[in-house]
Structure 1
Amino acid sequence: MTQTFTALRDQLLGAAEAFTEDPRSVSGILSGIVEDVDRALTEKLEIFPVCHHSPASALAMARRLREKRPSVIYLELCEDLRPILGELRNCRLPVALQAFASDLDGFPPGAGPLSVVAPVTESSAEYQAIAYALDNPDVELVLVDRSVDHVFQWSPELKPEKPSADVDDPEEAAMHGESVGIEIGDLRPGFAELEEHLVHHGKVRHWSEWWDQYVEQPLVDADYDSYRQVMVLIGSLFRRLRPSDRAKEDRDEDRERYMWTRMRQHLASSGADPERVMYVCGAFHAASRVAEFGLDGADTFEITDRTATKWLYGLIPSSHSAIEAQFGLAPGSVSIASATWEKAVRAGAAKPFRLAGQKGGKKPAKAAKAVAPKPPEAVTDKLSGFLAAPSALAVLDEDELRGWCVDIVRLARRHGYLASTADAIAVYETSILLAGMRNRSRPTPYDFQDAAVTCIEKDAVPGRRDVRRLCEILLGGDRVGQVGYDSLPPLARDVLDRLAPLGLDLEKRTLQRALMDLDAKPELRACSRVLWMLRYLLPEGALKPIMGSKELGKRSIQESWDLWIGREQRALIELGYEGVTLEQVFELRLRKSVWDAKATASDALRAVEDSILYLDNPRFTEELGERAVELLSAERTVDDAPEVLKRVRRLLAYYRANEPALPRWTELFVTGGYGHYCTLLPTAFSDEDSGVRQVAAMLGFLFTLENLALSLGCDRAQLELAVRQSHPEAPGKVALLWAAHTQIGVLTIADLRERCADMLSNPLVIPTFPQYLSGFIQALDPVPPLAGFVVELLSGAFAKLPDAVLLPWLPTLITTLKKEAAEYIPMLAREAGRMFPGTLPAVDAWTPPWVGRAEPVAAVGAVPAGPVAAFLAGRPESADAVAALLGCPPGWREAGPGAGAAGELVASHPATVEAVAALIA
């Protein structure tokens, strides 16, 4: 160590002996800190230590750049982000540099997608360095930190845990999504007890307030040497007091070896003068002790190759709350830092740099003229005087505090608070009182915030925002950045261009209302198509259809949309990482969904439907349909059967109405599904894991698509065999099986009626009767003619069961039907309305249609004579089937063609018989 800081070391060691019981344990730490400061400050390559989003660092950077005018700036930032820095000219800060990868090569399976963000604000030292370098053609900006690929190579968990922060606006806090944050200068004690000690004795609420009071404010007006020495001192202190974590320490040291290796490589290849070079890094890394440190350090570190992963780079919007949530800062701290920066700039503390053409700011400053650099000055000990001198007493800025108090009352009244001028005076006096209690010469924004909460927010919050949040808005607000059109990826620009006929400024973050008359302006149909695809691809809330729908076979005449596309700019930009156009991204997502390891047949059918709705690509739709056939044949459970049935019916109806013939894949799906479900039917009936709804859906597929399947070559004997081999035990499945038996002709309605009557007369079966009834109701889908019988069954139960049985049974019946067959209740209600009388007087004379007539009609046998008898005799199979459906006994032919229910039906409608006879004759 040089003699520069000898006096400081002796002073610190003397303090350790005076104030500690064991000075040896403290002296080693203090001596090491002084050595770190001396080593960083005497290095031939100038090291500029910074803190993340620190206005003091930004002001010191702006002043030092104008004084030194370096020709090369080494910046601690991922080296592969360098090509996109120029895009910052088209943006409104804050924004974040992003690297994104979804197709990984060289990382464990299932690790993606991977994403890294590096937020940039105007009040940050890195932005001042970037703006200076990009606006001066003679200045070279070199990023020297590890690449994005190495960030995840060196991270064993791939996605490092991010500190959490309580934020008032979760939507803004989530702007960075699941990305890993990269920051320059993370200065925060890794020692929890030390942080708690500093916060407690500093009389502050959190670390951000401590940093603002005891570091930021003193360093805002400090000279450059004092700033550097204090920052390295703090970085060394936190580094030496950090709890031992070998993995984290190795990762930090590898970063430092990486950066110094890159800088020496660049100096060797470029021949740059080290005297005109500046290295911008976090204060934590400025106090590095690795052997590779410095221009004369060892060249023993080998940089590993990147993986074959293809990374995509771009800019996404950011916000103050997103930065706070990403890096665990207190809510409002970045907004207060921004306000401190702007106040210092207005006071003339420094002349900042701003990229030419930067959105949302003042006129850019002219680029500094290149001049000969000043000779290096000898390093002097500024720390001793800085640490020993009392803090300068800041003068109370009455005008500023008075303006805050008036504005917060005005803002509070606007948000529903009953605030008045008296509250403004109270906030003013309380702010000064709190500052005095905390040993501050002037109120800070944090004092003002506490005073406003105390004086205005009495007992309740009338609106969505509390007073603390209103103070943050007043002091700078949650500023939200925006990426300019020219810096957007091709897909995002294409979307904005295709939506241009709407005549809306879609880059605004406010709500936009789009009204489209698609018949009067057919050119807007292209916009409608884009909006529906965006609704499918973007997160919920980005846009919402108010009028209009997107369904198979339907076409909207008018549409109305609420659009927040500007607010979801990040999501739109990340779509651009997946493809060049919306259609390409849509196809990729559909293809990925159907080839996923967990994809089912219903997922594939949903993809087919989406392909028809949103894309005009029959070949791609056919590919998805063929995949649906493969998935259905590979399924070994029937959990997905209800969804499969619903979607295949809808698709078949669409094709029959809009296409001359069914596509080949639908025919394969129907024939394959028919055989597949016939095979699984006996197992599904007996399997306890298969529900009644799933079995009913299988029967619905087999019965309702039976005609199409038979026309395509399927064998009905396969279905009859599957039904006969089924032997369920659950009441609901037993009812389904009986319904299936009636459909294939094994069981008649009369037999079914008799079985149900036996159940209602059996006290042991009555408690489970609701489950039987649920099975019958769910059988209405595969066997619709049972609707009348179910109404009869339910009516009979209410008529025959005594109150002592019926009343305890009703709750179970209602809950069972609501849970398992709610969608079929309207069908039963319609059937009941058709069968029951419509007026009250007709009820007394009404006879249920399922009750037999008391008196037979005369001359029954004479009616069928002639053409009707010849017609029935000529078609015995059809006559037997109709007679079975009507409940006639098997020997109805021997008893005469007019016997039983058939004869009664014919006799009851002589006019109809005469009409049919006339048609046949």
Structure 2
Amino acid sequence: MSVLDPAATAGRLFDTERKLYFFPIRHHSPACALHLRDALRAIRPAAVLIEGPVDFEPLIAELLAPGVVPPVAMVALPDSEARTGKGRSGTTYYPICSHSPEYVAIQEARQLGAAIRFIDLPSRHPSMLSDVRDKDQPLLPMRETMFDRGAYVEAMCARTGFRDGLALWDGLFEARARSTDWRAFFASVGAYCASLRAASHTDELQADGTQAREAMMCACIHDAIATASGPIAVVTGGFHTPALIDAQPQTTQPDWTTSRSDAWLIRYDFRALDRLNGYGAGLPLPGFYERVWKRVIGANGEAESSLTEEILTSFRSHLIANEPALAFPFPTLRAMVETATRLADLRGLPEPGRTELFDAVQSSAIKEEIELGSHPLLAAFSAFLGGDRLGDLPPGSRLPPLIERARSEARAHGLSLEDAVPKTRELDIYRKPRHTQASRFLHAMRLVAPAFAQRVKGPDRVHGFRADTLMETWTYAWSPAVEASLIERAADGETVQDVAAAILIRRLADLEKEGQRNNTEAAFNLLSFAFDAGIGGAADTLMGAVSAAVGADTLLLRLTNALVIGQGLDGRAKAMHSDTTVRAFASLLPPLLDRLARRIAELLPDLAAVDADHVGEATQCLAALVEAMADPRPPFPTEPLRDALAQLLSAQLDPQLTGAVIAVAALIGQIDETEAGRRLSAALAGAFERPGEAIRALSGVMALAPQLFVNDSGVIAAIDDLFGAVDDQGFLALLPQLRMAFAELSPHETDRVAAVVAAAHGADDDDIAMLQHVPDARVLSDHLALSERLRNQWREDGLAQWLEQAP
């Protein structure tokens, strides 16, 4: 028997003697859903077996509850092993939309009084997690990539003229949604899927868990045969059906009892359901197929216009309202409808499908060449047909209180949750208390459900009120990933604030487990998160941990960075409207910063022992210290720090660090610029016999305060004298360091240095103008090297005396 013979396939699918009916489907296919509905009404089964994780079966009653509006999804959270890093940590999703055959089967089974069973392995079974994905990506028990590629699909596309596997499916099956012969339809689907199966390798089916899943399904089917008192309908992905028709139960039954999961029903959205966005099953652009489904089941009544007219007219209205620059005139609309209709006729289709609509839009409205990628109009059409619907659950659904409280709080802050489209919100966090509260909620949600919101811009939490903006800009969107995160965190509390506090306390414990208990910077970062999210309840615990870290931390870079963070927090607390949370931080920060500043002062003299390999980190410490002490009224004592820096000024340091300490002292007003120039000139003179160290001393200054070099002619002269005493070869050796040092200068500062040096050598403005056209340093280096080779050659040729006489 040929697997391509639909008649023979139909005989195998529908076993009237055993009253066993197999229905091969494609997930989220309107045509499969419609024909399955007709078939179930005709055979009136006593049991309906559906490919779905067996641990999701308790959710069927919730799925059928009044007020459930698809799309929704059954989800399983990671088990304890996954959460501890030993297993797959992704959340498993089983999405359902109105035109999902599984959803239609469940609805019809309830109407018929039939038993409903899920027959696939549990969602967290290893064979359900074996698909190759990034570790934390969402997991899907439905996988249908075999429908879209492979030798058989390519051969069928070549024979029929369809451009890809998705268009092939539409042309062969979705186009038959309005036919009335469900037996012939499923016979054709069965023959097609049997051919796909025949072209698959057994090793792949073993490796990806397919065979283990089918063993489970087979066992459940035979259990139902033994217990059911009437016809049995088996609804599975078409790829599995050929393996299930004649399968016999294995002697050893699949072990799934230890793999049950914590399963919930949540809202889902069309964007997550779209195959074009990476979803692994079903069809692209679910909004389009939702329109098809409503039309074929008569949800819109006897519509006067065709579905093509309805879609293209709605798209034009959408563009006029939302993207007027892309809107097209009415004559173009008429041309689109006619083109789509004629294309359908040409391709032997009863009406235009997804492919014909896109071809019509492209040929009728786009006249210019389409560059690599998609034309904006086609991208807009794709987004329009994809849809942005977000499903809903009725009040009282079995959801953790955290989810409904989060949604309620979001709405109270003026955040729209009506669909899954990303939205933007600007917040004036310092002048409007309501905006401050909204900001805290969004910051807390970043901890609890990171997928909900991202801050695009706003005051940096390190630099606090001295950042370049007082406004925050956020993007946010409610999505299935948000709800799944909230379910996963529900055990930590019933409000977003409580859960965020629990997360921060857990992160604090993680620092200790990782041996980072003394990491002051990390502890201050946690404290900053708490402030952003308005978590006053965690302040005492975090403050205690930070204080302990300050006393034990010995790394100056972490301590100085923490001082900058703490100072920023103090400034923001003073700038914001005072409330309980702000007062809690405002009262706890000053003594903490006092202790931190004294700890830094205690460790600063240790920089005298820093060698060249670690001078970069030491310079970063000093840069952070300068940033903190630049505040005219810092919230910490500065005298201990000034005393420690005074010790460093008189200590024998690495040359680069010497320059950096001079710069720090000048920037904080401990010495004036004249004294700084004198000290730097002395340091350069002291390194006269070691020009490389002189350049490193200059680099230390330039890294923190390049203006000290630019504004002091004496320093410039000292550097010029240094270069004058170095031959060309020595200059070439110094050139890389010199370039790094001068990279800190602005073009204006570079011009200032050039003018001083030129004047010292008697050059006028015309000479300086010529320097503007000097090639870059690499070319200059090459030319100098060439000059040196020429000199050597001339000396070998006896021209040394002539060279010495040359002007």
Per-residue CA distance 1:872-920 (angstroms, 9 max, x = gap): xxxxxxxxxxxxxxxxxxxxxxxxxxxxxxxxxxxxxxxxxxxxxxxxx
2:700 aligns with one of 770, 775, 780: 775
SS in structure 2 of the partner of residue 114 of structure 1: coil
| Distance (Å, rounded) in 2 between the aligned partners of 1:662 and 1:410 | 56
Pairing 1:238–2:196 present: yes
Any stretches of 5+ residues in structure 2 without a counterpart? 575-582, 725-734, 751-807
The Cα of 1:61 is off from its aligned counterpart by: 1.7
Pairing 1:692–2:643 present: no
Pairing 1:253–2:208 present: no
Which residue does the alignment assign to 1:888?
A: none
| Distance (Å, rounded) in 1 between the aligned partners of 2:503 and 2:271 | 32
Which residue does the alignment assign to 1:533?
A: 444
Which residue does the alignment assign to 2:376?
A: 466
**1:96 is aligned with what amino acid?**
A
Contact 2:500-2:535 within 8 A present in 1 as well: no
Which residue does the alignment assign to 2:42?
A: 67
SS in structure 2 of the partner of residue 205 of structure 1: coil
Pairing 1:815–2:743 present: yes
Contact 2:267-2:393 within 8 A present in 1 as well: no
Which residue does the alignment assign to 2:563?
A: 645
SS in structure 2 of the partner of residue 97 of structure 1: strand
Which residue does the alignment assign to 1:282?
A: 237
| Distance (Å, rounded) in 2 between the aligned partners of 1:691 and 1:335 | 58
Aligned 1:798-809 pairs, distance under 5 A:
none
The Cα of 1:605 is off from its aligned counterpart by: 0.3
Aligned 1:439-478 pairs, distance under 5 A:
440=349, 443-459=352-368, 466-469=376-379, 471-472=381-382, 476-478=385-387
Pairing 1:306–2:278 present: no
2:179 aligns with one of 221, 246, 249: 221
Which residue does the alignment assign to 1:341?
A: 293
Contact 2:35-2:185 within 8 A present in 1 as well: yes
| Distance (Å, rounded) in 1 between the aligned partners of 2:333 and 2:367 | 14
Which residue does the alignment assign to 1:207?
A: 165
The Cα of 1:679 is off from its aligned counterpart by: 4.9
Which residue does the alignment assign to 2:790?
A: none
SS in structure 2 of the partner of residue 142 of structure 1: strand
Q: CA RMSD in A?
A: 5.6
Q: TM-score, normalised by structure 1?
A: 0.62
| Distance (Å, rounded) in 1 between the aligned partners of 2:614 and 2:479 | 47
Aligned 1:260-279 pairs, distance under 5 A:
260-265=218-223, 271-273=227-229, 275-279=230-234
Which residue does the alignment assign to 1:317?
A: 268
Which residue does the alignment assign to 2:609?
A: 682
| Distance (Å, rounded) in 2 between the aligned partners of 1:304 and 1:540 | 32
Which residue does the alignment assign to 2:778?
A: none
SS in structure 2 of the partner of residue 306 of structure 1: helix
Q: Summarize the Cα distance change of 1:338–1:149 in structure 2 as closer, same or farther, 3 Å threshold.
A: same
Per-residue CA distance 1:318-360 (angstroms, 9 max, x = gap): 21563313345798554443333233223xxxxxxxxxxxxxx
The Cα of 1:203 is off from its aligned counterpart by: 1.2
Contact 1:37-1:233 within 8 A present in 2 as well: no
Which residue does the alignment assign to 1:623?
A: 541
**1:453 is aligned with what amino acid?**
Q
**1:194 is aligned with what amino acid?**
Y
Per-residue CA distance 1:17-51 (angstroms, 9 max, x = gap): xxxxxxxxxxxx77999689637746543333222
**2:98 is aligned with what amino acid?**
E
**1:497 is aligned with what amino acid?**
S
SS in structure 2 of the partner of residue 280 of structure 1: strand
1:38 aligns with one of 12, 15, 20: 12
| Distance (Å, rounded) in 1 between the aligned partners of 2:117 and 2:428 | 50
| Distance (Å, rounded) in 1 between the aligned partners of 2:212 and 2:643 | 72
**1:76 is aligned with what amino acid?**
E
Q: Summarize the Cα distance change of 1:148–1:199 in structure 2 as closer, same or farther, 3 Å threshold.
A: same
Which residue does the alignment assign to 2:757?
A: none
Which residue does the alignment assign to 1:734?
A: 658
The Cα of 1:199 is off from its aligned counterpart by: 1.6
The Cα of 1:445 is off from its aligned counterpart by: 4.2
Aligned 1:31-180 pairs, distance under 5 A:
38=12, 41=15, 44-88=19-63, 89-101=66-78, 104-105=80-81, 109=85, 111=87, 113-133=89-109, 138-150=113-125, 152=126, 155-156=129-130, 160=133, 178-180=137-139
The Cα of 1:56 is off from its aligned counterpart by: 1.9
Q: TM-score, normalised by structure 2?
A: 0.69
Which residue does the alignment assign to 1:875?
A: none
**1:756 is aligned with what amino acid?**
L
| Distance (Å, rounded) in 2 between the aligned partners of 1:795 and 1:640 | 37
| Distance (Å, rounded) in 1 between the aligned partners of 2:165 and 2:286 | 13
Which residue does the alignment assign to 1:181?
A: 140
Structure with greater Cα Rg: 1
Per-residue CA distance 1:435-461 (angstroms, 9 max, x = gap): 465455765442342133112111168
Which residue does the alignment assign to 2:680?
A: 756
SS in structure 1 of the partner of residue 565 of structure 2: helix
Q: Summarize the Cα distance change of 1:263–1:573 in structure 2 as closer, same or farther, 3 Å threshold.
A: same
Which residue does the alignment assign to 2:526?
A: 607
SS in structure 2 of the partner of residue 315 of structure 1: strand
Q: Summarize the Cα distance change of 1:399–1:481 in structure 2 as closer, same or farther, 3 Å threshold.
A: closer
SS in structure 1 of the partner of residue 235 of structure 2: strand
Percent sequence identity is 17
The Cα of 1:117 is off from its aligned counterpart by: 1.1
Contact 2:340-2:360 within 8 A present in 1 as well: yes
Which residue does the alignment assign to 2:753?
A: none
The Cα of 1:127 is off from its aligned counterpart by: 1.0
**1:80 is aligned with what amino acid?**
D
Per-residue CA distance 1:162-220 (angstroms, 9 max, x = gap): 9xxxxxxxxxxxxxx9211232x838358622222222222122111111112332464
Per-residue CA distance 1:374-405 (angstroms, 9 max, x = gap): xxxxxxxxxxxxxxxxxxxxxxx995656666
Per-residue CA distance 1:125-173 (angstroms, 9 max, x = gap): 111122234567x4432222111221x465457x6369xxxxxxxxxxx
Contact 1:539-1:571 within 8 A present in 2 as well: yes
**2:498 is aligned with what amino acid?**
Q
**1:278 is aligned with what amino acid?**
A
| Distance (Å, rounded) in 2 between the aligned partners of 1:677 and 1:265 | 76
Pairing 1:495–2:402 present: no
**1:179 is aligned with what amino acid?**
P
Contact 2:152-2:196 within 8 A present in 1 as well: no
**2:496 is aligned with what amino acid?**
L
Q: Summarize the Cα distance change of 1:91–1:767 in structure 2 as closer, same or farther, 3 Å threshold.
A: farther
| Distance (Å, rounded) in 1 between the aligned partners of 2:291 and 2:630 | 72
Which residue does the alignment assign to 2:482?
A: 571
Q: How many residues are paired up?
A: 702
The Cα of 1:77 is off from its aligned counterpart by: 0.7
| Distance (Å, rounded) in 2 between the aligned partners of 1:551 and 1:263 | 61
Contact 1:55-1:123 within 8 A present in 2 as well: yes
SS in structure 1 of the partner of residue 80 of structure 2: coil
**2:501 is aligned with what amino acid?**
E
More helix by share: 2
The Cα of 1:646 is off from its aligned counterpart by: 0.7
The Cα of 1:58 is off from its aligned counterpart by: 0.5
Contact 1:36-1:232 within 8 A present in 2 as well: yes
Per-residue CA distance 1:465-505 (angstroms, 9 max, x = gap): 7343455567x552422233634542231134345656776
Pairing 1:589–2:503 present: yes
Which residue does the alignment assign to 1:167?
A: none
| Distance (Å, rounded) in 2 between the aligned partners of 1:576 and 1:553 | 33
**1:98 is aligned with what amino acid?**
V
**2:23 is aligned with what amino acid?**
F
Q: Summarize the Cα distance change of 1:199–1:455 in structure 2 as closer, same or farther, 3 Å threshold.
A: same
Contact 2:48-2:105 within 8 A present in 1 as well: yes
**1:318 is aligned with what amino acid?**
D
**2:48 is aligned with what amino acid?**
I
